[in-house]
Structure 1
Amino acid sequence: MYFFAQIVFFMFLLCSKRASGCYNINHSFSLFNSFCTLEKEVRVAYREKLPESAIVSGATHQPLNKSALKRLIPDMKAMKRSTLATLVNAALLSAVAGTSFSTIAAEQAPAVKKNQLEVIQVTARKRVENAQEVPVAVSALQGDSLDAYSSAGMDIRFMNAKIPSLSIESSFGRSFPRFYVRGLGNTDFDLNASQPVSLVVDEVVQENAILKGFPVFDVSRVEVLRGPQGTLFGRNTPAGLVKFDSVKPSQEFEGYGSVSYGSRGAVDFEGAVGGGLTDRLSTRVSVLWQDKDDYIDSRAPGFEQKDALGGYTDKAARIQFLYEGDDFTGLFNYHVRDMDGKPIAFFGNSIKPGTNDLVDGFENDVVYHDAASRATQQVESEGASLKLEWDFNNHTLTSISAWESAEIYSRADIDGAYETGFSSAESADGIPDHDQYTQELRLSSNFAGDINYQVGVFYFDEALTIENFSYDTFSSPAGNETGYVIQQQDTKAWAVFGSVDYTISDDLKVTAGLRYSDDEKEFSANRTQSPIGAGPLSSGLINVSDDHISWDISTSYKVNDDVNWYTRIANSFRAPSLQGRILYGNDVTTAETETVTSYETGIKSDVLDGQGRVNATVFYYTMNDQQLTAVGGGANFNRLLNVDKTTGYGFELDSEWVLSDELNATFNLSYNKTELKDDTLSIAAPSRPTLTITNPVVNGKVLLDGNSLPHAPEWISNFTLRYTKELADGEFFAYGDVSYRSKINFFLYESVEFEGKPLVETGLRAGYAWADGDYEYQVSAFVRNLFDEQQSIGGVDFNNNTVMVNEERYVGVEFKVNFF
């Protein structure tokens, strides 16, 4: 096969007198640091594949311009051949093994130490950079950790409590995930709900919540950026950003396939294959198939049904084509998903009144639904993107054009129970039509000097149709439609942005960014039928719009070769929102723009001579006019509101350790304290004897001032341990993780019953890996939620204490093969 060589510049180090031990190669160059893979044998030996985008300039963190590379080659040839060979070999081993070199001799490179941590490359600022040098609180999942967390039937919620300050939940199940970073999120379950945490997949924003549920497979890296990201990534990022990067095509033929079998008859397969079609064109095809049988029985009197809920069939695929010219690259990506399953199970009357304990004898495979036979969830989505990139002498021009579309129909027994004297709450939501178009055009400089910049424009256009239904469970025939609302929302937004990096000295760098955004929504809601006997209702056409200037400024100071200290102040916003879920109400509610200003400082350090990594951040933010959703409460519909002021503060610790030749560990910890500050903030009080509200109630209103945000745990922690041991002709491995999140409130008000207890979940994975020629094999057994911890993780604020519970213990086996 033809191998695409990623050529490397590295470690041209300008040393001062105090930097003892450094070899001064050339006083005309500052630090250059990059990565490469030259031969298949090296990549196989280290089991790592570095992306082409990892060719970077360490001084400016810019993609190294190919034309500049050509101009510098004659200078390299002027060096002694033995010196150049030594440097290239040292760089190769450094990039693949994660070794950091602070001294390089002219004729002989220092010995490479074993078991040092790999260098983690991120694109948090739309450039490939060493995560330790980025002045942003960013965590990355890749390699073994990513494989262990996301394998065997897991949807995107696998990241919950695995990264500092990140939690994820859903009242839909495998679709419509809701993200929370540093306590900031949105509990709204209507299908036009906006979120303050943005999801970007392969450099394309996934705005609608259904798009955010696309399965995770054949992914090279996940990044979580905490804090406002409004300068480079724009609208709806006041809390942060979750970023997925798929494995890209390459000229080398390679692929993998894995199949697993687990609890409740779950079968999962995923695989990918790719390689060069011509010397310049390569492709990669990735597929996923997940299947699980229904296993939850309904025992409602007169509505008994065996295996009514809990199953799904989820299929997804992605195909990519990469063209690599001399100074031009083009990447085309098409992806599609088709899911047919059941919604998450709601367990009615499952909390003991006056406590937050599950009722005695609770069974997670039994419900008492009178509408389980009609429960369904069907999701279809597809999208395509085209990334074009031109390398000019000192600049790179990038264009990203994308289209995304999603459809869903989800129907469920919402109150989760059969109760004599109460009407059943059987309803459905759907998106029959949705299209999202985005266009980004970005120009980045590639200067070797002290200043570099990015400037760009962005355009967003979304057309969204939503349908809300209610049904009469006891009609004849059962399930007649009794309510219908159609919502139409069209959103247009555009922005211009710029960011400048300035190197003040060898140790101090400053970055400043600015973005002007203009956002407009046009909305209408029409009710033609009401389940409560109200007449038809039309909202008419409602327009909300706003513009905002987001900004950030950060500094990065190199304390020494192993420690970087950064500071960051950032401002961002979330555009105005609308809520038109009016099956049971008569008001379309709106929420004004929310803005946030965040202050943070942190240390990123490599310790123990490269065998440890400790990153720590402290932060404080103030959010004005935060958009929140009153879900349920004293009225059976969702309503938007703004909070005068919300504050949050805390710290995050992210660490990784090489404990021995055979043992690696990570430990992460975060603390988040959030508080609503608005003495006029209140919602209608729920009135039922099974609910114990702990907030003050005045004139039928629950006062919310001083409450923490919903689904905002104060503590999140995660610990992993990986053991490997050479055995026979292969390797035995064992991987364990423990995640913890402290208690949470499900809703804006605080109550005894709807307070989720602290949750601890433990996972184990053990297996054996071996190689045979161009194939690598792996067989493993695994368990998630080892101790079968079952607790309520969300609630439905309706007629009764209806909750959702976390996934039960899951046991499985997996076989995987990689081929080259």
Structure 2
Amino acid sequence: MKAMKRSTLATLINATLFSAVAGTSFSSIAAENDTSAKSNQLEVIQITARKRVENAQEVPVSVSALQGDNLDAYSSAGMDIRFMNAKIPSLSVESSFGRTFPRFYVRGLGNTDFDLNASQPVSLVVDEVVQENPILKGFPVFDIERVEVLRGPQGTLFGRNTPAGLVKFDSVKPSQEFDAYGALSYGSKGSTDFEGAFGTGLTDRISTRVSVLWQDKEDYIDVKAPGFEKENSLGGYSEKAARVQFLYEGDDFTGLLNYHVRDLDGRPIAFRANLIEAGTNNINPLYDNDVVYHDAASRATQQVDTQGLSLKLEWDLKEHTVTSITAWESAEIYSRADVDGGYGNAFAPSMGPGVIPFSSETADVIPDHDQLTQELRLSSNFSGDVNYQVGVFLFDEDLTIESYSFDTGAYDAANSNFGLQNGYAVQDQSTSAWAVFGSLDYTLTDDLKITAGLRYSDDDKEFYAKRTKTPVPFTGASDFKEGSANPSDSHVSWDLSAAYKYSDDINLFARIANGFRAPSVQGRILFGDEVTVAESETINSIEAGIKSDVLDGQGRVNATVFYFQMNDQQLTAVGGGANFNRLINADKTTGYGFELDTEWVLTDELNATFNLSYNNTELSDNDLAVQVCAQCTVTNPVNSAGLAVLDGNSLPHAPEWISNATLRYSKELEGGEFFVYGDVSYRSEINFFLYESVEFKGDALFETGVRAGYAWAEGDNEYEASVFVRNLFDEQTVIGGVDFNNNTGMLNEERFVGAEFKVRFF
């Protein structure tokens, strides 16, 4: 078997994203844009959550908009997109693939499925293009102008797979003004990170911007499995990404061409056998972050190539604007890992650490993938009381997935190595979807505005899976197995919202919305014999909130309360003793909670933010039951078939509490500015799987970061030198598990210390 072909460059839109605080770009930026603004006032945040440029404080949607230099606090030195976890109210992020395949959860709603065609109820939209496949969602974030997190169903304007919410990125666009920057950092474990961009006008009407990212980390994890000892075998990566844009600006027409590419060559996340002590959720005291006991580490690899091309055309017709967005995205991945996290097994001469019932070495591959999208919309620009948007959307995706299993202890003569291939299955999936949508804004009075939206979506999948070699013939499974599915559905999504201007500084809003997720297919039949289909899930949500500017513009307090009911929620029964994923639908899921976003200018030199959310989720289905772990202590009721009954459980990876806060101090010093930035984030305990168990309950996670530096200007350039530390107190918490074999787990990132130098040219 050959690894997938590699493309030459890389695109990623990853971890430079979140200032992780509700839009903390402070007064200095605002002052540049508005010379009349007071130097100690917060910036007015402009967002495009409803596909129009609007003041975030006036939009009747629970949204956090992030922009400005505070992104540095979370994204420095090679952080991947998981750094967003618990940095935004009601948002968590996790992955069992490491730097790729992030899984997003909003208000507790997400998907734990690790198959490469897994659908998610939280959509990712980058530069107005939906990123459907989970591998596309891991693109690194760099040279980003704005990040928006929209909570609650977004089905009217953004489509079928947004019942939980939406994460939206907008990169910095070309302009006629010359602008360039470069940032270089170095940190723990030999991590090196460079990002930069260059933009300028080419002619009076054409401008360009080129953005690049390069991240590198040396392997630092030693392998100490007997007979497989090797220093510096795992933990490293080399990642490159680039984005090239060309903008044409005519009198009443603009065209934007965007090409982006990503290339990752690294190692998968380190699975650690029996990391969790039996009967507890404590980390095994023998654990060492720099050591694993894998017998397949020499073959562990993760290679990702993605690229995409989009063309946005916009015509200004005075009272109307016509927008066309045509896009192509493609992803390839080859990821192979020692999933059991140890060496040997119960049938081998030796095994460890702890009991390894059987070896598990697998590879998941996307050798071929193409996504085509087309959106065409008409927006009115009336000066009166009524405005509207109407549009059509087309989506087409073709995807091939290969799954391999290997006998770790068997010699592979063809490759002169152990790890003989002993299983193979392939999936082919084609998805076609289309939609028509419309949204109407009506100003009832000077203070009260109503918005109503409607969308009709049609979705169809063609799926075929085939296994030609089974890795478990001793169970009676045959080598050859095939299955197919052709789920389809249509749905009408809607929303109705009202925004009331209580005063110049206080806006109230209320919103009810409906959304849905299209049918999903799970056909990873490498270990199982069944292709499962999850029917469409639908959600009805109601929320109300307040958005306020206080203390004469020196403070901002936004708060939302919400309640939702989801019918036929799509869930994934991950793993279990049979090591097989199945899709299921839960009759009903309810959730309620609140979100609080605040930011403050305490003095001319001191700024702060504080954010908090509470999410309560509950499954309601008396008949819903799933397979359980091989060696853990299940706390749910277990029926006569040995399945855990899920009725009353909260959702997996759904913390009840998320909180984060930042404090930034700056002081003019010797013609420049000295600054210190501190941040803390907290998420409460979580369950890793649908069932509840002692071992697979993750403890609360509390992390602290500090950044200090000096910024100065010289000539036409600006410079900044800083040092930083993430996870200051080196808190180690189990953040995920593998339940089909032993109490294998994964950990959060350990303490990271680094230094960075930036320069910006004008």
Q: Residue 489 of structure 1: which of 417, 423, 429 is its match?
A: 429
Counterpart Cα distance in 2 of 1:94 and 1:309:
46
Unpaired runs of 5+ residues, structure 2, are 1-25, 347-356, 413-417
Counterpart Cα distance in 1 of 2:425 and 2:584:
21
Counterpart Cα distance in 2 of 1:634 and 1:149:
38
Which residue of structure 2 aligns with residue 227 of structure 1?
A: 152
Which residue of structure 2 aligns with residue 709 of structure 1?
A: 651
Which residue of structure 1 aligns with residue 50 of structure 2?
A: 125
Contact 1:671 1:714 in 2 (8 A): yes
1:6-85, aligned counterparts within 5 Å? 48=29
Matched, 1:743 2:743: no
Deviations, residues 230-273 of structure 1 (Å, cap 9, x unaligned): 00000100000000000000001111000000000000000000
Percent of pairs with identical residues: 74
Contact 2:380 2:387 in 1 (8 A): yes
Which residue of structure 2 aligns with residue 441 of structure 1?
A: 376
Which residue of structure 2 aligns with residue 622 of structure 1?
A: 565
Which residue of structure 2 aligns with residue 660 of structure 1?
A: 603
Which residue of structure 1 aligns with residue 129 of structure 2?
A: 204
What amino acid does structure 1 have at the position aligned with 2:605?
A: E
Which residue of structure 1 aligns with residue 111 of structure 2?
A: 186
Counterpart Cα distance in 2 of 1:94 and 1:128:
19
Contact 2:258 2:311 in 1 (8 A): yes
Deviation at 1:360, TM superposition (A): 1.0
Deviations, residues 770-820 of structure 1 (Å, cap 9, x unaligned): 001110000000000000000100001121100000000000000000010
Contact 1:96 1:118 in 2 (8 A): no
Which residue of structure 1 aligns with residue 622 of structure 2?
A: 679
Q: Residue 465 of structure 2: which of 500, 509, 525 is its match?
A: 525
1:329-408, aligned counterparts within 5 Å? 329-408=254-333
Deviations, residues 684-703 of structure 1 (Å, cap 9, x unaligned): 23343xx1111011211111
Which residue of structure 1 aligns with residue 34 of structure 2?
A: 96
Which residue of structure 1 aligns with residue 633 of structure 2?
A: 692
Deviations, residues 563-605 of structure 1 (Å, cap 9, x unaligned): 0000000000000000011111110011000000000000000
Q: Residue 666 of structure 2: which of 724, 727, 738 is its match?
A: 724
Deviations, residues 347-402 of structure 1 (Å, cap 9, x unaligned): 11111111111011321111111101100000000000000000002000000000
Structure 1 residue matching 2:501: 3-state secondary structure: strand
Structure 1 residue matching 2:140: 3-state secondary structure: coil
Counterpart Cα distance in 1 of 2:240 and 2:663:
32
What amino acid does structure 2 have at the position aligned with 1:454?
A: Q
Counterpart Cα distance in 1 of 2:27 and 2:57:
22
Q: Residue 467 of structure 1: which of 383, 393, 402 is its match?
A: 402
Which residue of structure 2 aligns with residue 216 of structure 1?
A: 141
Structure 1 residue matching 2:502: 3-state secondary structure: strand
How many residues in Structure 1 have an aligned counterpart in Structure 2? 718
Q: Residue 213 of structure 2: which of 262, 280, 288 is its match?
A: 288
Which residue of structure 2 aligns with residue 612 of structure 1?
A: 555
Which residue of structure 2 aligns with residue 648 of structure 1?
A: 591
Which residue of structure 2 aligns with residue 150 of structure 1?
A: 75
Contact 2:408 2:420 in 1 (8 A): yes
What amino acid does structure 2 have at the position aligned with 1:187?
A: T
Deviations, residues 733-767 of structure 1 (Å, cap 9, x unaligned): 11110000000000000001000000000000000
Q: Residue 300 of structure 1: which of 225, 230, 248 is its match?
A: 225
Counterpart Cα distance in 2 of 1:221 and 1:361:
43
Counterpart Cα distance in 1 of 2:318 and 2:27:
34
What amino acid does structure 2 have at the position aligned with 1:814?
A: E
Q: 1:685 to 1:193 in 2, by over 3 A?
A: same
Q: Residue 756 of structure 1: which of 693, 698, 702 is its match?
A: 698
What amino acid does structure 1 have at the position aligned with 2:758?
A: K
Counterpart Cα distance in 2 of 1:158 and 1:414:
23
Which residue of structure 2 aligns with residue 70 of structure 1?
A: none
Matched, 1:504 2:444: yes
Structure 2 residue matching 1:353: 3-state secondary structure: coil
Contact 1:263 1:810 in 2 (8 A): yes
Counterpart Cα distance in 1 of 2:79 and 2:281:
27
Counterpart Cα distance in 2 of 1:96 and 1:593:
48
Counterpart Cα distance in 2 of 1:160 and 1:140:
16
Which residue of structure 2 aligns with residue 544 of structure 1?
A: 487
What amino acid does structure 1 have at the position aligned with 2:358?
A: S
Which residue of structure 2 aligns with residue 767 of structure 1?
A: 709
What amino acid does structure 1 have at the position aligned with 2:708?
A: A
Task: Report the TM-score, using the length of structure 2 for normalisation.
Answer: 0.93
Structure 1 residue matching 2:403: 3-state secondary structure: strand
Counterpart Cα distance in 2 of 1:361 and 1:349:
10
Deviation at 1:419, TM superposition (A): 4.3
Deviations, residues 514-563 of structure 1 (Å, cap 9, x unaligned): 00000000000000000001223443442000000000000000000000
Counterpart Cα distance in 2 of 1:334 and 1:693:
49
Deviation at 1:140, TM superposition (A): 1.3
Deviation at 1:769, TM superposition (A): 0.2
Deviations, residues 441-488 of structure 1 (Å, cap 9, x unaligned): 010000000000000000000000000000011111311110000000
Contact 2:618 2:648 in 1 (8 A): yes
Q: Which moved more, 1:471-480 or 1:456-465?
A: 471-480
Q: Residue 799 of structure 1: which of 741, 744, 748 is its match?
A: 741
Task: Report the TM-score, using the length of structure 1 for normalisation.
Answer: 0.87
Q: 1:223 to 1:395 in 2, by over 3 A?
A: same
Deviation at 1:304, TM superposition (A): 1.3
Matched, 1:426 2:361: yes
What amino acid does structure 2 have at the position aligned with 1:789?
A: E
Matched, 1:417 2:357: no
Q: 1:796 to 1:685 in 2, by over 3 A?
A: closer
Contact 2:483 2:530 in 1 (8 A): no
Contact 1:685 1:697 in 2 (8 A): no
Structure 1 residue matching 2:73: 3-state secondary structure: helix
Counterpart Cα distance in 1 of 2:27 and 2:700:
40
Contact 1:436 1:462 in 2 (8 A): yes
What amino acid does structure 2 have at the position aligned with 1:808?
A: E
Deviation at 1:46, TM superposition (A): 7.9
Deviation at 1:114, TM superposition (A): 2.3
Deviation at 1:155, TM superposition (A): 1.0
What amino acid does structure 2 have at the position aligned with 1:188?
A: D
Runs of 4+ in 1 over 6 A off after TM superposition: none
Deviations, residues 387-437 of structure 1 (Å, cap 9, x unaligned): 000000200000000000000000000011124414310000000000000
Which residue of structure 2 aligns with residue 326 of structure 1?
A: 251
Q: Residue 515 of structure 1: which of 455, 473, 498 is its match?
A: 455
Counterpart Cα distance in 2 of 1:353 and 1:423:
18
Query: Computing the radius of gyration over CA atoms, which structure comes out larger, 1 or 2?
Result: 1
Deviation at 1:149, TM superposition (A): 1.4
Q: 1:94 to 1:381 in 2, by over 3 A?
A: closer
Structure 1 residue matching 2:652: 3-state secondary structure: coil
What amino acid does structure 1 have at the position aligned with 2:375?
A: E
Which residue of structure 2 aligns with residue 535 of structure 1?
A: 478
Deviations, residues 313-355 of structure 1 (Å, cap 9, x unaligned): 0000000000000000000000000000000001111111111
Deviation at 1:95, TM superposition (A): 4.7
What amino acid does structure 2 have at the position aligned with 1:267?
A: T
Counterpart Cα distance in 2 of 1:416 and 1:642:
31
What amino acid does structure 2 have at the position aligned with 1:785?
A: N
CA RMSD of aligned residues (A): 1.2
